[in-house]
Amino acid sequence: MTKKETTLVAFSTQKGGAGKTTLTVLMASYLYYVRGLDVVVVDCDYPQYSIQDMRERDMKRIDSNPALRQVAFEQFSRLKKKTYPIVNSAPENAVEVAKGYIESATPPDVIFFDLTGTVNNPAIINTIGLMDYVFCPITADRIVATSSLSFASSINEKFISTGQSNIKGLHMMWNMVDGREKTDLYGQYEKIFGELGLSVMETKVPDSKRFRKEGEAVGKNLFRSTILPPDKALLRGSNIDKLADEFLKLINYKG
Whole-number mean pLDDT of the chain? 87
- The answer to whether residue 110 sits within a structural domain is yes
- The answer to whether residue 168 sits within a structural domain is yes
- The answer to whether residue 52 sits within a structural domain is yes
Domain containing 228 — which CATH number? 3.40.50.300
In angstroms, the CA 94 to CA 199 distance is 26
Beta strand 110-114 pairing with 169-174: unpaired
In percent, the amount of the chain with pLDDT more than 70 equals 89
249 has pLDDT over 70? yes
- The answer to whether residue 20 sits within a structural domain is yes
Q: Convert the pLDDT of each residue in 11-57 to its tens digit.
A: 988 766 668 898 999 999 999 999 999 999 999 987 789 999 999 99
147 has pLDDT over 50? yes
From the CA atom positions of the chain, what is the Rg in Å?
Answer: 18
- The answer to whether residue 1 sits within a structural domain is no
Q: Quote the longest CA-to-CA distance of the chain.
A: 54
- The answer to whether residue 255 sits within a structural domain is no
What is the domain count for the chain? Answer: 1
217 has pLDDT over 70? no
Q: Residue 77, class by beta-carbon neighbours within 10 Å (0-12 exposed, 13-18 middle, 19+ buried)? A: exposed
Q: Give the model's pLDDT for residue 2.
A: 56
- The answer to whether residue 2 sits within a structural domain is no
- What is the residue range of 220's domain? 7-250
Mean pLDDT of 147-151: 86
- The answer to whether residue 107 sits within a structural domain is yes
